[in-house]
Amino acid sequence: MAEYLIKNGFVFDPVLGIKGDRVDVAIKDGKIVETTALSSPKVIDAAGKTVMAGGVDIHAHVAGPKVNIGRNFRPEDKLFGYKARSGIERMQGGFSVPTTIRTGYNYARMGYTTVMEAAMPPLYARHTHEEMRDTPILDQGAYPVFGNNWFVLEYLKNHEIENAAAYIAWLLRATKGYAVKVVNPGGTEAWAWGLNCENVHDPVPYFDITPAQIIKGLIEANEYLGLPHSMHMHANNLGNPGNYTTTLDSFKLSEGIKPNSKFGRDQVMHHTHVQFHSYGGDSWANVESKAKEIMDYVNSHDNLTIDMGQVTLDETTTMTADGPFEHHLTELNHLKWANADVELETGSGVVPYVYSPSIKVCAIQWAIGLELALLAKDPMRVFMTTDHPNAGPFIRYPRIMKWLMSEEARKQQFDAFKHKDKVIDATNLANIDRELDLYEIAQMTRAGPAKSLGLAHMYGGLAPGLEADVAVFNFNPNEPYAPDDIEKAFGSAEHLFKAGVQVIQDREIVSNGNKRTLWVNAKVNENPQVMRDVKEKFLRYYTVTLNNYEVTGHYLPNPYVIEVDATE
Amino acid sequence: METVTLTIKNQPELYLEADTIAPDAFAGKKAEEIADLPVYVGREQHRLGDFFEVSGKAGATPEETKIVVGGDLSRVKYIGMKMTGGEVVVNGNADMYVGAWMQGGKITVNGNVDAFAGTGMKGGELVINGNAGNYLGAAYRGDWRGMQGGKITVIGNAGSDIGTFMNGGEIVIGGDVDVHVATHAEGGKIVIKGNAKSRLGGQMVEGEIYVLGSIDLMMPGFVYREDVDVDMDGIKGRFALYEGDLGERHRKRKGQTIYAKLYQRIEA
């Protein structure tokens, strides 16, 4: 493979602790190496430019059945947005629910190289893997959802952690999944009965278990297995005024549990899109930010990581396994709604949504997301996301960087709100003058998520031995710049390397890369009871047989297996 | 006002997608520059001048530009799409999406138009001196934003699904219409001077439909309220007022529930 030497760039790397110094980055055989290891490298002149590791997105909905429902039922999302094939680039379409091809290219253009699909219904894992396979350039993994799964509910009702762990290990292997995802624990199952679980003690109908038992049990099972990532949490009561207490109650369930993982993470719970979970008040009329209360907790508990779920003020498509929430949303905006039940496993809903700067609540949501990041004491534990496409399309990450890095940019946005004064009253953002620097941005978008995922040995930094995922941006941090320069520069990487292959050269996509699918193979002691339960439930309830369930072979043309041994 | 005349000289093998035939694209250009504007046949890009004779010149702004298109345009789509001002006169039959998403100015078609004319229209005036096809003044497939403003006048008949997801503006049909009128509408006004068939106002939340002729079958979601006298824009007579669609949500204003209104003339 070709050798590269990226010379004279301003490097921001939390792994090596480099804060904008001029450092040369060397690439050989797909890895970062010492500059002395190169013999005849191709030299990339990065003078006056910013160099970072490839971005890592810990939470996005980019592949699988609900994303595809979004594509299918929103032809208007693709209207006038198609781009014909040109050069190496294949045809692309869609805005908030782009095609797989556009997903890969647009992430690459922002300098991202690893993206995790945040919710995979196990029964439709094959579909999810087919779409990931068709997404160029990016390394990807998918989180199967467990929080409403009948096996899990039955095992955890009796606190059978070992059985729950054996089932998780089996399902990760069967679906080629990466981590344990929990969405509205118990609530989506309750939705099949027309109900919901609105707090952590609201019992799940029929199963006689509470969300608190599910959350705690899944954290314990996750640590029993010692998986690379922690339990990945979307709490109950998403998107409702006053829900911050539910969020704090959910956080507290992780207290006293220590991480048991050889993969270097410090947290036992990752709570996703916290913006949607940080609301005070008791109605949409008096909803207010509780980001401060939430961040006081996060800042003082280091076994927790979170991501933002930043509202970007776009027209987008919401989609989640939180079925009851999507019904709530369609009742609110009267736009079209899709709902699905996934047998014994989960459910989902999809509704288009317009986050308008003229609507007070949307502007408050925008402010809350930014507050979470700006109140973070440790940027290694608070990550940038939009919960794509729920709070906005991922292509807005550079715009979020602009808002985080520039108080002036936030002021401009405040001035554009119709209800500016009411929004300022209901939030804290106008009193926050913090401006993040590129080092902190690199923590929130690269080193932090990589560590939380248990992938710090591969991604998130520029230390020798890591994957050669390197982005060069046309941005000089030492010269004066306007806020919009940030958005422009980080929206279009000058050069991008993925595992040592140059995929972007002079802002042109020049390679479709060699994408890999990451999954976790957790070995556990033989567990005849769980295997008998699996066989029995497939026989009695599933519409498919076990033989038609497992994801194998051609679904993962280029797998990357992370082995975990929990047999001790 | 300056005038540009386009006369079709070569028919496209498939269909020509010519959203560049609009005062906004022509403004400030000479005939040669206009002939260089892009049009599409399938995925191939061509020049407008490959298909049309171009003469005259455009005004400095869209408002000062008039376009006269002549010949058989039954394979030309998107004439006047998204235009914001000025005038387009089509002398012949045009294909789909005439005046789609238009925001201002005026389009006059001296002939028939195919489906989706005035899709998502926000303003301006569209006059069709022949017949219109399906989905007149409707929303694009999947979208909830149909016609929102402006006026569409059809001298002849119109097809099915007119005014789907209409939120504002006015559609006047001189002749008859096919099924599905104002489905899902939340505003606006549709006047049908001829006869209607069935499924008028299905899932309609707000807005008005006037039918001067017959209706084959009334939706079960519409209920008769009373007879009223109407005298509006030259439409005069005694009308039966129906309200609906009772199966939909309806907002309240001053304690009163607002329904969609369907007026059928019982006496001229």
Q: Is the pLDDT of residue A201 over 80?
A: yes
| Model ipTM value | 0.91
Q: Does A335 touch chain B (CB under 8 A)?
A: yes
Tokens representing residue B147 in the block: 């016609």
The predicted pLDDT at position A1 comes to 75
How is residue B146 annotated by DSSP?
-
Chain B residues contacting A via beta carbons under 8 Å = 43, 140-144, 249
A436 band by pLDDT with thresholds 50, 70 and 90: very high
How is residue B48 annotated by DSSP?
G
Mean residue pLDDT across chain B: 97
Measured between alpha carbons, how far is A414 from A423 in angstroms, rounded to an integer?
8
Q: What is the mean pLDDT of residues A405-431?
A: 98
Q: What is the mean pLDDT of residues A245-253?
A: 98
Q: How many CA atoms lie within 13 A of B48 on its CB side?
A: 25
Digit-coded pLDDT (tens) for A106-122: 999 999 999 999 999 99
Measured between alpha carbons, how far is B121 from B146 in angstroms, rounded to an integer?
7
Contact B249 A334 (CB under 8 A): yes
Mean residue pLDDT across chain A: 97
* 8 A C-beta contact, residue A201 and residue A216: no
Digit-coded pLDDT (tens) for A16-29: 999 999 999 999 99
Q: Does A336 touch chain B (CB under 8 A)?
A: yes
* 8 A C-beta contact, residue B82 and residue B63: no
| CB-CB neighbors (< 8 A) of B119 in chain A | none
Q: Is the pLDDT of residue A568 over 80?
A: no
* 8 A C-beta contact, residue A292 and residue A299: no
| CB-CB neighbors (< 8 A) of A352 in chain B | 144
- Torsions phi, psi for A389 (to 5 deg): -95, 20
Q: What is the mean pLDDT of residues B28-36?
A: 97
Q: Nearest-CA distance from A71 to chain B in Å? A: 11
Contact A76 B140 (CB under 8 A): yes
Angle CA A166–A167–A171, to nearest 5 = 120
Q: Is the pLDDT of residue A553 over 90?
A: no
Tokens representing residue A448 in the block: 């932090």
* A181-183 vs A288-289, strand pairing mode: unpaired
With CA atoms as reference, the chain A residue closest to B165 would be A335
Q: How far, CA to CA in Å, does A418 sit from each of A266, A285, A289, A315, B145?
A: 42, 15, 18, 17, 22
Contact A335 B144 (CB under 8 A): yes
Q: What is the DSSP annotation of A502-562? A: EEEETTEE-------EEEEEEE----HHHHHHHHHHHHHT-SS-GGGT---GGG-SSEEEE
Residue A401 CA, distance from chain mean position: 16
Q: Is the pLDDT of residue B43 over 90?
A: no
- Looking at residue B124, its amino acid is G
* B223-232 vs B235-244, strand pairing mode: antiparallel
Measured between alpha carbons, how far is B57 from A513 in angstroms, rounded to an integer?
49
Q: What is the mean pLDDT of residues B182-202?
A: 98
Q: Nearest-CA distance from B195 to chain A in Å? A: 31
Helices (H), A384-525: 397-405, 407-416, 420-426, 438-442, 448-452, 483-490
The predicted pLDDT at position B268 comes to 83
* 8 A C-beta contact, residue B120 and residue B136: no
Query: Which burial class, exposed, middle or buried, applies to A527 when counting CB atoms under 10 A from its CB (0-12, 13-18, 19+)?
Result: middle
Q: What is the mean pLDDT of residues A340-355?
A: 96
Q: Nearest-CA distance from A340 to chain B in Å? A: 19
Q: What is the mean pLDDT of residues B177-191?
A: 98
Range in A77-86, A162-171, A557-566 the model is least confident about: A77-86
B145 band by pLDDT with thresholds 50, 70 and 90: very high
For residue A126, give the nearest of A559, A561, A553, A536 by alpha carbon: A553
Measured between alpha carbons, how far is A217 from A432 in angstroms, rounded to an integer?
38
pTM of the predicted structure, to 2 decimals: 0.96
Q: Which residues pair with B39 in a beta bridge?
A: B46
- Contacts (Cβ under 8 Å, ≥6 apart) of B42: B14
Q: Is the pLDDT of residue A403 over 90?
A: yes
Measured between alpha carbons, how far is B57 from B43 in angstroms, rounded to an integer?
29
Residues 80-109 of A with CB under 8 A from B: 84
Tokens representing residue A327 in the block: 């019904």
- Tokens 């190289």 correspond to what residue? A113
CA atoms A539, A543, A547, A552: torsion sign: negative
Smallest Cβ distance to A73: which of B140, B142, B249? B142
Contact B142 A335 (CB under 8 A): no
| CB-CB neighbors (< 8 A) of A73 in chain B | 142
CA atoms A487, A491, A492, A496: torsion sign: positive
CA atoms A472, A477, A478, A482: torsion sign: positive
- Looking at residue A332, its amino acid is L
The predicted pLDDT at position A532 comes to 98
B233 band by pLDDT with thresholds 50, 70 and 90: confident
Measured between alpha carbons, how far is B36 from B167 in angstroms, rounded to an integer?
37
Q: Which residues pair with B106 in a beta bridge?
A: B87, B125
Measured between alpha carbons, how far is A121 from A123 in angstroms, rounded to an integer?
6
Digit-coded pLDDT (tens) for B61-73: 999 999 999 999 9
The predicted pLDDT at position A545 comes to 95
B234 band by pLDDT with thresholds 50, 70 and 90: confident
The predicted pLDDT at position A127 comes to 97
Angle CA B43–B49–B52, to nearest 5 = 100
* 8 A C-beta contact, residue B219 and residue B200: yes
Q: Which residues pair with A441 in a beta bridge?
A: none
Q: Which residues pair with B223 in a beta bridge?
A: B243
* 8 A C-beta contact, residue B39 and residue B71: no
A395 band by pLDDT with thresholds 50, 70 and 90: very high
| H/E segment holding residue A310 | none
The predicted pLDDT at position A46 comes to 98
Rounded to the nearest 10 degrees, the angle between the axes of helix A161-175 and helix A150-157 is: 160
Smallest Cβ distance to A75: which of B142, B144, B249? B142
Among A76, A333, A335, the residue to mutate for chain B (most B Cβ within 10 A): A76
* 8 A C-beta contact, residue B208 and residue B243: no
| CB-CB neighbors (< 8 A) of B141 in chain A | 75-76
Q: Which residues pair with B127 in a beta bridge?
A: B108, B153
Measured between alpha carbons, how far is A22 from A12 in angstroms, rounded to an integer?
9
Digit-coded pLDDT (tens) for A471-528: 999 999 999 999 999 999 999 999 999 999 999 999 999 999 999 999 999 999 999 9
Tokens representing residue A17 in the block: 């602790």
With CA atoms as reference, the chain A residue closest to B250 would be A334
Measured between alpha carbons, how far is A504 from A492 in angstroms, rounded to an integer?
10
For residue A64, give the nearest of A346, A354, A458 by alpha carbon: A346
For residue A495, give the nearest of A469, A477, A516, A466 by alpha carbon: A469
